[in-house]
Amino acid sequence: AQSVTQLDSQVPVFEEAPVELRCNYSSSVSVYLFWYVQYPNQGLQLLLKYLSGSTLVKGINGFEAEFNKSQTSFHLRKPSVHISDTAEYFCAVSETGNFNKFYFGSGTKLNVKP
């Protein structure tokens, strides 16, 4: 079975500062990795995904994530955050070959302060 751990439940940061949201996973099989963002009172929206190829993945809104197989991590980063980035961020995994089932982390609340 797969599991996803997001180490920080909340991350406060000042506007224009860099941020990193951490995600670690455990799996006995190969996985695909995702980051989703949830703005208040909305559904989840895909930020970026890693399926194969380059381990550095770029997504929407200036976010990027790096897949590290040896560390079983997929941390999300942004060099300079905006107030509008305030949201809940979810890391998720899916088994390669079983794309119907997704496992989500518990979420990290990014709170960007002016």
Partner 1 sequence: DTAVSQTPKYLVTQMGNDKSIKCEQNLGHDTMYWYKQDSKKFLKIMFSYNNKELIINETVPNRFSPKSPDKAHLNLHINSLELGDSAVYFCASSHAYEQYFGPGTRLTVT
Residue number, 1 or 114, with CB nearest to partner 1: 1
Summarize as ranges the residues that interact with partner 1 (CB under 8 A): 32, 34, 36, 38, 41-46, 49, 51, 88, 90, 94, 99-104, 106-107, 109
CB of 35 to partner 1, least distance (A): 12
CB of 76 to partner 1, least distance (A): 16
**Which candidate, 8, 17, 6, places its Cα nearest to that of 83?**
17
* CA dist list (Å): 15 to 37, 85, 88, 91, 111: 18, 9, 16, 23, 9
Please give the single-letter amino acid code of residue 19: V
Residue number, 73 or 108, with CB nearest to partner 1: 108
CB of 105 to partner 1, least distance (A): 9
CB of 114 to partner 1, least distance (A): 24
Residue number, 25 or 34, with CB nearest to partner 1: 34
Q: Which residues of 16-49 are buried (b: 16+ CB within 10 A; e: fewer)?
A: eeebebbbbbebeeebbbbbbbeeeeeebeebbb
- Rounded Cα distance between 70 and 12, Å, is 28
Residue number, 15 or 61, with CB nearest to partner 1: 61
